[in-house]
Amino acid sequence: MDGALALVVVGSAAGVAAGFWLGARRRGAVEAERVESSPTPTRAPIDALQVLRGADAAMFAERDAQELADELRPYLVDVARQHGASEVTLWRRAGGETETLEIVASSAAGELPRATAWGTAPERALVTWSAAEQMVGFERRDGEPRIAICPVRFASGEPAGAIVLATSERFLTARDALRDWMPRHAAQVGRLASLFAARNEVARQSQFTRALLRIARDLQRAHEPEALESALCDYAVEVTGAEYAMLLRWNAESRSGLVSASSKQAPDSLREGRVTATSVAGVSCSEGTASFWEDARFLSDRGGVLRDDDAGVVAGSLAVLPMMRGSDAIGAIIVGASVPGVLRALEIRNGSVLSALAVNALETAWELADASRRSRTDALTGLWNRRHFDEQLERVLAETDRFGGSCALVICDIDFFKRVNDTHGHDAGDVVLQQVSRVLHEGVRSVDVCARLGGEELALILPQTSLEGAAELAERLRQGIQALEVPQAGRTLQVTVSMGVATYHAGSAGRATLFKRADERLYAAKHAGRNQVVAGD
């Protein structure tokens, strides 16, 4: 979606023309008439919990429920006056897959009655039966109807519950006339409730549209990749109503990717790691098509979400929205929720708009970050270079002073490296450097800094690490390097390293001398016979 963005939010509410065929049917003291189904438009009913998320969901759902009750009460009061009812209530199916009904509006002022405490058990059963069977029903005492029930549908055509008139004496309207009036009242209540839902939907989509316009402006000013990636996850949650979001970076040539950012609520199994071409996310990126599951349980036979062997999601909603540059995906936004049906097609379209808006900003940020990384990376070993090492050492020392504790520096030198070059050639020396660097890089934490200082000299910066911890790590790495077998021209080369370890404690006088002290320990290790670790403050 390069060049232009069209955002149109359309809210509509239409009346429903319903015809009713009434026929007599007796069941004990109950008379019932079947109501012909209303036409079924394409628009689905709105459930506030499907759009909102997290701790706000309950608050907004409660607010919407109270507003619906307030909107419908004047009409229910008029119905009660017209027919002499002591109370008129609107019953609606509770959320989720349950068939249980709850009272959502009443002609009586004050707190709504609880459905489980309303009337008698047979009367409650009659309401449930009438709503499920789509039948008008009457409960009679002494030949006179005391309760009149008619099923109610929203404009979507989905059964919504029933309108119930109750009286302690007798209705002002005769039974036959009441039988004719009940479907009219039910249709009007359905229309009013549908208008209320449509109004909320328009307001909600208007909020999403304003958010997208604001996000579009923010993206133009964003340049730092990490901050932009994190912000995109938050934006995706905001405009789709999801519980969590993740951002993938995709390589179209290798048909693989990585999780570059995720929101706090994302499942642990999906927070980080590689993305394979045959996974659900990988297929969407490879084919350049968005994927959406209102009920993610149907994903169980599709493989993992990110990798074939990941646990994926066993329930909830999920969508994968590729970010396209021409015919290739540069990444994808994944949004999800723990409850099926929370994500809907309308909000997923908002997410697709976001993914299109993000392409230019994200691609630029990634390219700048890659260029910066290349300028700070040693081309032979893939480790950080001396420039980056010096900057990171200053950063870690400053953080140690700020947060307390201690940091450590390990300087490593490959023993008799010149002999390797002279005997086996510089190509063999390069391979040795690469293999030793790999052991160091794979053996440290993601917060540690592993760099090539020059020649055969390597270094490790270890934040929040004691002297004992640094010495233990250095010894483990030394043993790993000693165990290396480097193939070269039909032979196997083995090398060893010497290491010097020093630490800096927050607020001490040793900040300026940390590198010098670690270097002195390195030379002590060499003079003591090489292939060993010497540590000291």
User: CATH number of the domain that 72 lies in?
Assistant: 3.30.450.40
313-326: average pLDDT: 84
- The answer to whether residues 365 and 390 belong to one domain is no
In a domain, 18, yes or no: no
H/E element holding 278?
A: none
Count of structural domains, the chain: 3
**For residues 154-162, average pLDDT:** 68
The residue among 263 and 221 whose pLDDT is bigger is: 263
In a domain, 500, yes or no: yes
Let me know: does 149 contact 162? Beta carbons within 8 Å: yes
Question: Whole-model pTM?
Answer: 0.49
Q: Are residues 346 and 255 in the same domain?
A: yes
Query: Is the Cβ–Cβ distance between 454 and 404 less than 8 Å?
Result: no
Q: Is 209 within the bounds of a domain?
A: no
From 320, 340, 369, give the residue that closes a domain: 369
pLDDT surpassing 70 at residue 394: yes
Residue 148 pLDDT > 50, yes or no? yes
Cβ atoms of residues 228 and 259 within 8 Å: no
What confidence tier does 353 reach under pLDDT thresholds 50, 70, 90?
A: confident
Amino acid 21: pLDDT? 23
Residues spanned by the domain of 352:
222-369
Q: Which amino acid is at 361?
A: A
Question: Which of 262-266, 405-409, 445-449 bottoms out in mean pLDDT, i.e. has the lowest?
Answer: 262-266
pLDDT of 172 higher than 60: yes
Residue 78 pLDDT exceeds 70: yes
Closest CA to 29 of 114, 160, 125: 125
Cα(460)–Cα(454) distance, integer angstroms: 13
Q: Which long-range contacts (CB under 8 A, 24 or more apart) does 399-402 make?
A: 399/463, 400/463, 400/464, 400/504, 400/505, 400/506, 401/506, 401/507, 401/511
Instruction: Give the residue-averaged pLDDT of 172-184.
Output: 91
Q: What is the pLDDT of residue 389?
A: 95
Domain boundary among 369, 398, 418: 369
Does residue 280 lie in a domain region?
Answer: yes
Q: Rounded to the nearest 5°, which phi and psi values hold at 82?
A: -60, -40
pLDDT range class, residue 45, cuts 50, 70, 90: very low
Q: State mean pLDDT over 317-326.
A: 90
Contact partners, residue 404, CB within 8 Å, separation at least 6: 506
Cβ burial 264-282 (10 Å sphere, 16+ → b, else e): ebbbeebeeeebbeebbbb
Residue 19 falls inside a structural domain = no
Tell me the C-alpha to C-alpha distance, in Å, between residue 364 and each of 139, 228, 236, 321, 359: 71, 11, 19, 19, 8
Choice between 39 and 5, residue whose per-residue pLDDT is larger: 39
Shared-domain flag, residues 170 and 235? no
Residue 156 confidence (pLDDT): 57
The pLDDT of residue 127 is above 80: yes
Same domain, 99 and 136: yes
